[in-house]
Amino acid sequence: MKIIVNGVEQEFNSPLTVTSLLHELNLRTEQVAVEINLNILDRSHFPNWNLQEGDKVEILSFIGGGSPQPKD
């Protein structure tokens, strides 16, 4: 099944929960926000939310930043 993660299309085995996606990507489940097709998924749903073919997943976390910086 193809899923777009942070703008990159990747192939995964189905079924795939958000928690297992984070594990496969070697990411922690705390201190990340997950947005699926522009909807934020509450952390409590990570273990039981099944991703679907073509889902656009954004995984975000905190990075260094202070005063606003110019657009990347």
Partner 1 sequence: MSHNLPHDPLIIAGREFRSRLWVGTGKYKDFEETRLAIEASGADIVTVAVRRVNITDKNSENLLDYIDPKKYTILPNTAGCYTVEDAVRYSRLARAAGVSDLVKLEVIGDERTLFPDTAGLIEAAKILIAEGFIVLPYTNDDPIVAQKLMDIGCPAVMPLAAPIGSGLGIRNPYNLKIIMETVKVPIIVDAGVGTASDAALAMEYGADAVLMNTAIAGAKDPIMMATAMRYAVDAGRLAFKAGRIPRKLYATASSPIEGML
Which amino acid is present at 60?
L
Q: Which helix (H) or strand (E) holds 24?
A: helix 18-24
For residue 36, the SS3 value is strand
| Candidate list 9, 33, 37, 52; residue touching partner 1; CB under 8 A | 33
Task: Please pick, from the candidates 11, 42, 48, 53, the single residue that binds partner 1 as defined by CB under 8 A.
Answer: 42
Minimal distance in Å, beta carbon 24 to partner 1?
10
For 19, list phi and psi in degrees, rounded to 5.
-60, -45
| Single residue of 11, 13, 28, 53 touching partner 1 by CB under 8 A | 28
Q: Is 44 in the site for partner 1 (CB under 8 A)?
A: no
Q: What burial class does residue 54 get, using C-beta atoms within 10 Å of its C-beta: 0-12 exposed, 13-18 middle, 19+ buried?
A: exposed
Q: Please give the residue ranges that form the binding site for partner 1 (CB under 8 A).
A: 5-8, 25-28, 31-35, 40-43, 58-72
